[in-house]
């Protein structure tokens, strides 16, 4: 390689590193990203996200995509197949937390701890178009999140958020309470009157099972058809909503009760 070739290579690397840095900052400044980062921080401050516990996803609105797409990677990751095709989410883009990331670190370096994935036009696979800097990948619970989004969208076309966390009191309650959705809901309603207003559809409870699998995603999605909060016994909770505040607030209310 001659001098000019290697000089060009150095220049190309410099340009792409500079573009990477600009892209990180530009996307991080978008208001939906700032709100998502704040939700991760707030969840950790509540004690819901020990170590790498919990994960979250936000279905981007057309205006979010519009304001970010100029900063997406020139070369996205390869496509990764989903366990089964999710046609209803074809072409959608999601902001999601990274596998293994600690919620308390998201605000320190968003571009490393969260990222944007897009689904292909048949909803069969996803690829990374922004974030997950340093070789990260989306949460292992991505199938549960995506199936949850589909299920809630059927009930509420405005739904954008699915959030999973490990709130202490709710987990403890699954150790001492009957794991029956109706009885569990009635206890929450009795403990805190506000819960009837915030959670009129109650919570659904799933018995313990291995997480990170497609099976638990299918069951969580089924439970999302009739409630916006699904408790995973001896593990944590899933909640959804039209906004980050909605999903976060549901967990806050149930946990307080
Ligand atoms: O992301 O909480 O359920 C870690 C978990 C898995
Ligand atoms: Zn979990």
Q: Which is the closest atom of ligand 1 to the Cα of 99?
A: 1
The answer to whether residue 158 is catalytic is no
Write down the pLDDT at residue 37. 98
Q: In angstroms, what is the C-alpha Rg of the chain?
A: 20
pLDDT along the chain (257 residues), means of 10: 48 53 82 98 98 98 97 97 95 98 98 98 98 97 94 97 98 98 98 95 97 91 97 98 98 98
Cα–ligand 1 centroid distance for 2 (angstroms): 50
Cα–ligand 1 centroid distance for 141 (angstroms): 7
Of 92, 118, 141, 255, the active-site residue reads 141
Residues whose beta carbons lie less than 5 angstroms from ion ligand 2: 236
The single residue listed with the structure tokens 């400044």 is: 29
The CA distances from residue 170 to 52, 155, 255, in Å, are 18, 25, 6
Cα–ligand 2 centroid distance for 55 (angstroms): 7
244/17 Cα distance (integer angstroms): 32
Write down the pLDDT at residue 22. 67
Q: Which is the closest atom of ligand 1 to the Cα of 139?
A: 1
Determine which residue's CA is closest to atom 4 belonging to ligand 1: 53
CB 141 less than 6 A from any atom of ligand 1: yes
Write down the pLDDT at residue 72. 96
Write down the pLDDT at residue 3. 44
Q: Which is the closest atom of ligand 1 to the Cα of 232?
A: 3
CB 85 less than 6 A from any atom of ligand 1: no
248/239 Cα distance (integer angstroms): 8
Please tell me the number of the ligand nearest to residue 234's CA. 2
Write down the pLDDT at residue 11. 44
190/202 Cα distance (integer angstroms): 12
Write down the pLDDT at residue 214. 87
Cα–ligand 2 centroid distance for 235 (angstroms): 6
CB 53 less than 6 A from any atom of ligand 1: yes
Write down the pLDDT at residue 125. 97
CB 52 less than 6 A from any atom of ligand 1: yes
Q: Which two tokens stand for residue 139?
A: 């949460």
Q: Identify any residues that bridge with 164 across adjacent strands, giving them in sequence order.
A: 55, 238
Pocket test for ligand 1, best of 40, 43, 48, 54 (most atoms within 8 A of CB): 54
pTM, two decimals, is: 0.91
Write down the pLDDT at residue 148. 97
Cα–ligand 2 centroid distance for 87 (angstroms): 26
């Amino acid at each position: 390689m001659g001098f000019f070739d290697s000089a060009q290579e150095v220049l190309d690397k410099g340009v792409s590193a500079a573009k990477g840095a600009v892209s990180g900052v530009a996307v991080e400044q978008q208001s939906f990203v700032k709100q998502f980062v704040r939700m991760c921080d707030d969840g950790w401050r509540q004690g819901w996200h020990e170590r790498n516990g919990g994960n979250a996803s936000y279905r981007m609105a057309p205006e979010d995509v519009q304001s970010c797409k100029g900063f997406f990677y020139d070369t996205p990751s390869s496509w990764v197949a989903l366990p089964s095709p999710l046609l209803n989410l074809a072409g959608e883009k999601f902001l999601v937390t990274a596998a293994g990331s600690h919620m308390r670190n998201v605000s320190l370096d968003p571009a490393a701890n969260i990222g944007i994935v897009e689904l292909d036009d048949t909803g069969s696979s996803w690829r990374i178009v922004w974030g997950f800097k340093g070789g990260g990948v989306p949460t292992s619970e991505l199938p549960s999140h995506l199936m949850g989004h589909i299920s809630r969208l059927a009930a509420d076309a405005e739904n954008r958020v699915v959030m999973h966390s490990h709130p202490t009191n709710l987990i403890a309650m699954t150790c001492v309470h009957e794991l029956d959705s109706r009885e569990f809901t009635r206890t929450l309603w009795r403990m805190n009157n506000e819960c009837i207003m915030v959670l009129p559809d109650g919570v659904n409870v799933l018995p313990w099972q291995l997480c990170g699998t497609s099976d638990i995603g299918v069951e969580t999605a089924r439970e999302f058809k009739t409630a916006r909060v699904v408790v995973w016994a001896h593990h944590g909770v899933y909640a959804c909503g039209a906004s980050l505040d909605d999903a976060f607030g549901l967990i806050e209310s149930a946990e307080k009760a």
